[in-house]
Structure 1
Amino acid sequence: MLQKLYLRLQVIEIIDNYVISLNKTYVNNTYQENIASQKYLLLHLISLSNINDFHISIRYFHDPRESSDQQLKLYLIINLSADEPDDIKLARDEIASFLEIGSLSKFYKFNVLQKDLYELNDIGWVNHIGEIIKPEVFNLQGYYLPYLFEAEQDNSMLTVCDVLHRLNEKFILEITIQSCYASEDRTTWVNALGQIVAQLQLLINNKKDDSLQNALDIYKQYQTNYVNKNLLKYSIKGLAETRSNIRTVLMTLLQSATKTNSYGEHNYIEIISRDRDEQKFLENLRASEKIEISTAFERKGWEGDFGEKYIREPIKPKLNNELGDGSTNIYSSFNPTNFSQTALPSSGGAIIPSGNSALAQIKDLKPLHRLGTIEEISGFFRLVIPGDTLVPGMEKNRLRMSNAEDIFKNYRHLITKDEYIVGLDDEGNPVTSSWSEIPHRLVAGVPGSGKSNFLKWVIFQFLYVNPKRKIYIADFAGVDFLYLRNMRANVEIETTIENCPNFIEKIHSEEYKNRLDLMQQYQVQNLQELQNESFEIDRTLWIIDEAADIATIPTSSHRLRDSIEKKLQEYARKGRKFGIHIIYCTQRPTTEVITKQVTDQCEEKIIFRVSPDASYRILENTMAGDIPKDTKGRAYLDGSAGKKFVNTPLIKMPSGSKVKIEDTLWSEIHNK
């Protein structure tokens, strides 16, 4: 028994504030990735196995009566059938997987809707339907030329959405395709193609003619792209309350989705349209209700006996230019003055000889105007791409720029003695990191990328858990962390490189050796067991900022750097159980500053914008090198949470008399 699946999804754009108004290279790369992802969706859907019939429709629904951000809605509707229930279930699961975790999920959120969604099923308000069909050239003497669509691959649909948003009536723009694994009339039109190509080739051999060559090139393209490939049947139409707006919307779509050369001069463009009281209207409307394709509308050129004319060997034109027996005389009827448009480039396809001796008729070529390849249809079959422009009237699932107050309010329960929040991922979910799993971190980023703010965010969380925790900071700039002293935090700050060796030794003796002695004395294995012995002892944090300054003093750089790296190596082996953690930071990630010793011991890396070379050296990829210049707080994380982009929050700092401690999150520590 035939099994059917109707899947309706509302598509909501995910607007990434880190993309909006950023550098053009980054926006363009994201834009092209979105286009590629939409093509992958199409390829994925039409390649589903064990499916008998498959329709997929993109619908833009405009209703001016809705609220300002709900007037334009975007839907993806899928209608498929199979012989077995298991095949339907498998297809549904594969579709859901692609939409949830595939590349398109970076740009859109897909909300599954009920089958009886009112605004999709009730289209009784439609009084007028207009439809786009591939341009066709008719000649009453029997000449016929169907053009191909040449897709505009950069179509964002923004212009179309802008036109829809200005309408004062309901309107549905519908782009529906049907996969054609096999076409019952394929043999017929393949035979007709072979005959017409052969005739054109003979004529050109006898007499060079640019118009004939253009026609031959187009028919050869059909042979190359259609004969041995899976094709799509398409329907591109507008459903409106009144006739007045239908042509404006569809012409805007046509101009956005195709290149000019694909449809020639504008006098060959015809929007096929019907009112409710005209023939074939209801048949076309019911097809939209069922998510199917109707071929009820056709151009006037097919009226009468035009399609009955035969494609035959050409005869020489008579002196009075009569056609003789009424068969198609391509040479005499193909008038160059009628075809001033530039033809599509030749595909170079070979002529496919017909194995059928029967004479083909013009109507045998008629299926071509309703068929297309993925490449042809892809310019139309497009979910709107916002890029750096928001779509008017459409709901957005905005990725808000992270701020520490909101994150703390919503996720403070995730901040524990063992874990802290790095920031939010691109879906708005909190990303945490574990001190117990990874003791040491490497933080890098050029000035202004958000590195220093991130350190303050980490320090806040570290002290929020226990304000008595000890923090050691090597801050050679000398000003970034003075606020901690004003809050009477348990912190020691070293600002001179010359005193840094003594500073390191103090940390080693007061923290490392002290904990080692206590563990040996009480025969415990780690910090947790030591705390269970009622010792008031907790994790210790050592921040090195800016590590590159160490390398600027030749007389001490090697000895000091070696000393730090030696401690890193020692603490890397034992720091997890001792509760000693190092954050190694730099704005200038050169090979002298970040050696292999450092990257090996710092198992977690939070890399803000750096050069592509520095990104590759640290991460073995260039992801951090692709972060836009104007983006603050965005970093590439390689650590306990996996490998991903993370948006670290801006944390407000006390600043003299203007911003008081009690007006910031730091009051959570100060008042304890």
Structure 2
Amino acid sequence: MLVFKLKTLPDPGMTKYASRYGGNVNEAILTSQTVFLKLLSQIGKEYPLTACLRYVFMPENKETEKIQAYLLLKLNHSNQQLSADLNRLLNKSSLAAFYTFEKINVSLQLTSFKFVVEAIKKEAKLPTKRKEYKEILSKFKQQEQIKIPSYYYLPFPFESDNNHDFIDTIRLIHTFTSPIILDLMIKPTQLMQKEQAKIEDIITRLREIGNINLREKDDIARQLGVSFDATSYSLKDGNAVYTSKIYEEYHKRYLTEDLFEFNIRVFSNQLFEARLALSSLLISSTQNARFHLISIPQQKDQALFLTAAQSSEHLKLTSDIYEPKFWDEKKKQSPHFRLHRLVDIEEIKSIFRLPIPSNEYIPGMLKESENTYPSQKEALIIGYEEKRHVNHVCFKPQDLCKHAFIAGVPGSGKTTAVFNILIQLWERFKIPFIVIEPSKTEYRSLAFIKKNNAYTGIAKDLRVFTLGNDLISPFRFNPFSVLPGCIINEHISNLETCFKAAMPLSGPLPALLSEGLERIYDEKGLAGEYILSSEKEYEFPTLDDLYTAMNEIMASKGYEGEVKGNIKTALEVRIASLMRRNTGAMLNTAQNVPDFYDLMKQPVILEMDALNKEQTGLMTMFILNCIRTYAKTSRVSGSSLAHVIAIEEAHNIIGHVPQRSNDEANPQAEAASYVSNMLAEMRALGEGIIIADQMPTAVADEVIKNTNIKITHRMVSEDDRQQMAMSMLLDGDDFVDMARLSPGQAFVFMEGWYGPTKVVERNIKSDYAIEAPPTNSELIGLLIFGDVLGNGLNLQVYSVYLPDNGLPSGNITEINKATLNLVIAVKNEEDPDVNGFVEAGRDIILQALAGWLHTAETKNATSGSDDSDDDSFF
């Protein structure tokens, strides 16, 4: 037995069909199935062949696999070559133009079901005029010359509905609650000689009955209630005439057309569902609905149930299931017994049929134009298909190696979608990430998420740093430090790109920068092609060293007058400004706090709202450069996803590149080129990049083009919609719907999909009780005390204030003495009972911290900050 599983259904709306068949695609699909039936009939004339279309409904399967269709072929022949030929024949048959099958090995046990329902043609016993005929003969004193039977046996033929697409039956079965198996089994056959003779005999007798003539007076005939014509008194039997026509049609078609014997049955644990499925099929596939259902409960008639089960399991037709009021074991020997199970192609073609989809989706089954998703256990779940409601849209974490772009206006669900991905990356797959947040502080909410009123793993592991704002969560980063395995010259080139991508450098400034970078590394003994080793400790230059070197180089060039003044001003604006205030504390340092290797091992949020636009761009470029170097020096090509970067409000860093003159510095172009190259490089090194922005048109074109996964939320502007539509095959009604999407709705598209899918995303904020971003007060409380209940401490970020890290001593005055003493005590392990220490000094520490925070927020307000957070933590 050969078993072929139907992989997908054809989509008549696909271009490949329209270009070939024009507007008659459905007609071409119907024709292909009829041609296949004729092919089976021809094979059956040479070899004993049985074919079966089997539909299996399993409600517990995932949505697109709940209803599986199979084609089973059995040749009762030992020739293995014939089976192989049959396999090839299917792949080249008319069906192959629309349907794709895969050969599988599977066996089926049907005895676990409680019921089987068998469908046969409707049979009838039509009344005759036998009694009236005898009465007339008695009145006229004539002998009975023609024997009229007590009834006419008539199996009604199926009248095909050529428009039947099988979809109504599929939709009905999809609503069932129990597994169900629908078998449509046919076997090519021919009308046997005894059957032909019997049909011809019936036709002859019916014609004789229809032509009975009785010659007597009208009044006698009328008294008998019999209709006669004017001259020849004929006993008219309408049933005889009707039955004769049916048998004449059988005789004509069954002798000349391809003929099949059939078994049509359903196995189920619910009798009502079984009968409903068969009724739906035969009502929708025939015009007259003339069929009869025979229900067989296994408990009451186990022998007959097993007959049906074995028939389907072994693909061997049986005629042992019949209607007792018409047949018994003796009557079964009648030559015309098979008529209620015989059909020609015209009768069976609308029943023995594969589904023919329209533009709408088919519940429980998959069209070839629909997207397939991996198992939820190994995938990141975005949401579920809007049209199916239960079919989860997801992709493997590895797909993020080709990066993602997420867009949508404020309030559309863009940030929530990123939250959803990041939480799953860490909670389910332990894949760390760094979020670069240029202008907002939304992602700090991840440090407060709860599940069942308890902080989750990501909330406990997340590290939040406020770059440029030491009063909350300080960060120290030396961009001139070099990771082991990196070539110095390559690092210098990358630093040049970082500066050029973040700020306009014109005139001689780029040359001064390049020469200055070379000098400061040379002075540290790290020049040229030197590759750093992980086994040595190095002294790296600082931002102060670069500023000094560039001034010295400028002085040595002999610049005079206005040129010198312009260069000096540029140095002050571009370089010296980075050495002042909190930005200087962050960048003009010899050490990285935290260590960059630690930063790559856990979920991290880098808030940059305290920096201006140029500082944000520069800091982002420094971080990206460091991650890029880390990936290139620590991973091999083909690595699985190991880390993810998420860049929010990406236009602040990699905005759309405007047209400029060739001699004018263009930071946006530099940034776009760098990130575009990084997107290409990181694919093979296990580094995924998620880029999010409100407006696609505000982001560099290269970035959108080089991201594999696209998630588009509501966008009203036509140019934004056009930008996304062109990158994710979105057109027609979907293009308009993009402006109507509700919060949490999105179109999703990625490589390998036929087209975008409309998705209702997971409400991750509801699932994890994510509320408004915590205030600075709440964040500080969490960072210092672990949570507001004081369970545990997380003081490592405040070690930047300790004198032994080489920072300017002035930083110590920025934190209240009580808090600093607490940090030092914990670091030096002076009090091993940390929780007890916190409990004992809670009031003092909270008061001190409140005073420090009040001072910090007053400073922010004075400097024009719009931070309106309250002190709810206290």
TM-score by length of 1: 0.47
Structure with bigger gyration radius: 2
Structure having greater relative contact order (Cα 8 Å, sep ≥ 6): 1
Structure with the bigger percentage of strand: 1
TM-score by length of 2: 0.36
